[in-house]
């Protein structure tokens, strides 16, 4: 399938998905459609065990939506609602993707770009990265899941500081507040993300899938229900060939060869 804004390169079971929409990789309907499509394809690709998302060029990861479109959208409530739902559905697909997804934040991650990063499992930021959801400065709010995912990730206070304040945060500040998991030198975000993905890929793919589900679904449940879900998912894994292989490899003192079944 021909794509104008998404580049996908697979190496060593890691897909590097690059959003390429110069000058700052802004989001629009076409970019969201292509991003959603590529994740649909990767979901069924048995040669891919992890995904790294990054931005093309050296300036931005994703610097939000294209504000030039906003004038034409003022007063068009239904169109805004439909567009917001499309972004939310795309980012939810990424959040619930059954493989590891790492955001390699190589520059500006503002508005929808910050919301995209928060939908990923782990965020690696280059030291020159800047993150934020500045929509309030335009008289609006984030609409791609930011108000909900930031609250779940950071807590109400920090989420309100970001959403209601609309400020920009350096990579170090983002790390200190728990918005990113690691800060690396300029130009090293993708390499670090790929290295981390390789480490994760030594684990069982079904265990990664069930672990993600336990966390993503369980955190929205009452504790008792979340614990029940965890036990169910663990019990399911003990019925798999991967679990047999993992235990056998441990006793044989060798690396396991997981098959995802």
89 is catalytic: no
User: Which is catalytic among the residues 41, 78, 135, 232?
Assistant: 135
The enclosing H or E element of 39 equals helix 29-43
Annotated active-site residue 95? The verdict is no
Bridge-based pairing of strands 60-63 and 108-110 is parallel
CB atoms within 10 A of CB 102: 28
Tokens coding 170: 């350096």
Helix or strand holding residue 6 (H, E): strand 6-11
Question: What is the CA angle 66-100-120, rounded to 5?
Answer: 30
- Name the residue among 179, 178, 242, 180 with its Cα closest to residue 210: 242
Catalytic residue among 34, 41, 78, 115: 115
* Catalytically annotated residues: 115, 135
């Amino acid at each position: 399938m021909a794509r104008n804004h998404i580049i996908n390169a697979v190496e060593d079971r890691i897909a590097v998905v690059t959003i390429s929409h110069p000058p700052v990789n802004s989001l629009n309907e076409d970019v969201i459609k292509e991003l959603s499509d590529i994740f649909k394809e990767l979901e069924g690709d048995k040669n891919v065990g992890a995904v790294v998302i990054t931005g093309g060029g050296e300036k931005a990861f994703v610097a939000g939506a294209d504000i030039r479109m906003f004038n034409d959208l003022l007063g068009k409530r239904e169109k805004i609602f439909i567009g917001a739902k499309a972004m939310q559905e795309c980012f939810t697909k990424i959040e619930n993707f059954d493989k590891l997804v790492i955001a390699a934040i190589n520059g500006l991650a503002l508005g929808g770009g910050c919301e995209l990063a928060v939908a990923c499992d782990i965020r690696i930021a280059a030291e020159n990265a800047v993150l934020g959801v500045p929509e309030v400065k335009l008289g609006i709010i984030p609409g791609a899941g930011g108000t909900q995912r930031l609250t779940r990730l950071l807590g109400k206070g920090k989420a309100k500081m970001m959403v209601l304040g609309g400020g920009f945060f350096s990579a170090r500040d983002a790390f200190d507040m728990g918005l990113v998991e690691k800060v690396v030198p300029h130009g090293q975000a993708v390499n670090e993300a790929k290295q981390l993905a390789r480490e994760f890929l030594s684990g069982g793919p079904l265990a990664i899938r069930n672990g993600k589900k336990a966390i993503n679904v369980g955190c929205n449940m009452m504790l008792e229900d979340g614990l029940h879900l965890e036990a169910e998912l663990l019990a399911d894994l003990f019925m798999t060939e991967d679990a047999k292989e993992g235990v056998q490899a441990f006793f044989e003192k060798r690396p396991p060869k997981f098959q995802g079944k």
